[in-house]
Structure 1
């Protein structure tokens, strides 16, 4: 079964954010009922794990595929959430954004060092730019991902659990959207430079 138009956006929204929304809502629900913050985080993780698994299943059923980033993020949620529940240690779920953002950041830099461009492979069909533009965009995103990893470490180690949960979602999403919009001028600049020059007229 395959959806089209708005149906695709609805399914992709579930795949990308379904688990995080469930985690956010369940944490504050348990906290509202009087559960201590750390225990509320454990209970919310019990919601996060099946919600993340269900989101991946829904995405696969309706689209017959799952994009690389949501797939990696979903599997990581299952792994780190599972470790949190097995060891009853919330540090695992808190460290997940650190590990994943560091993974993406170093992955992009290693790709450039090997003269590959994983960002171009993922986005090349949607955006046409010369290699110089892709290299600058990749460096920007690599630095951004590494900065998010460091920021997550700072927040979860220094702030209360409810602050970290809001930072995790929707905080990281908002920061990512703002950063992505900030890259539009760079993409437009190099997208224009990729156009063929006008014919020369004597």
Structure 2
């Protein structure tokens, strides 16, 4: 049974590890650590610390709420897989490609639903945004394209720019882009929203 969690606690558990990664990276980005006779730069060390922190916070959130969304589970799995590969192979590229995989996966899931004439986004977010069926289809199509755009942006940034730029993009750029996307859907909400009847 899903339980209500204080919104501030939920936000801290979801975004705390990302902010901790950002702060940790700023502190040790220029350092090199020799562990077991092998040299690791600051990015890899922070990634190694981020993985258990992310899992602990996800576990606490599950304990408090009794529920984890598919997005949270998928994110945790990919953090372990790609973060683990980066640490094991001492190669930061695996961790940097993780957002690309996540956003392409979500775009693919939404696209598959659209091909079946369904908005699978509606099943996840219906309680938060009451929309007419046509509105859900439009929003799903837009969000699918948005996820593809985020995946492409991540690829361009980590392949052509510095690690500093990518860390800033991942920490601040992606959440801000998501916030702006949903803010930009206000006209869709007005035209396709389900308004409660008032006596």
Deviation digits for residues 168-201 of structure 1 (CA, Å, limit 9, x no counterpart): 1011111111111111221221015x667x9xxx
Q: Counterpart of 1:103 in 2: which secondary structure? A: helix
| Alpha carbons 2:3, 2:66 under 8 Å: kept | no
| Alpha-carbon distance in structure 2 between the residues aligned to 1:166 and 1:145 | 19
TM-score, with length taken from structure 1: 0.86
Gaps of 5+ in 2: 33-39
The equivalences for 1:31-50 within 5 A come to 31=29, 34-35=30-31, 39-50=41-52
Q: Distance in 1 between matches of 2:139 and 2:115?
A: 15
Is this contact kept in 2: 1:22–1:47, CA < 8 A?
A: no
Residues 78 and 11 of structure 1: CA distance in aligned 2, closer, same or farther (over 3 Å): farther
* CA distance in 1: counterparts of 2:3 and 2:125, whole angstroms: 22
SS of the residue corresponding to residue 21 of structure 2 reads helix
RMSD: 2.1
Structure 2 contact 118–137 (Cα < 8 Å) conserved: no
Alignment partner, residue 83 of structure 1 = 85
SS in 1 for 2:31: coil
Aligned 8 A contact 1:105 1:143 in 2: yes
Q: Does 1:28 align with 2:26?
A: yes
Q: How does 1:179-190 map to 2 (within 5 A)?
A: 179-190=181-192
Instruction: Name the structure with the higher helix share.
Output: 1
1:162 partner SS: helix
Corresponding residue for residue 16 of structure 2: 18
Q: What SS does the aligned partner of 2:23 have?
A: helix
Aligned residues: 190
Which of 89, 95, 98 in structure 2 is aligned with 1:96? Answer: 98
Number of the residue aligned with 1:169: 171
TM-score, length basis structure 2: 0.88
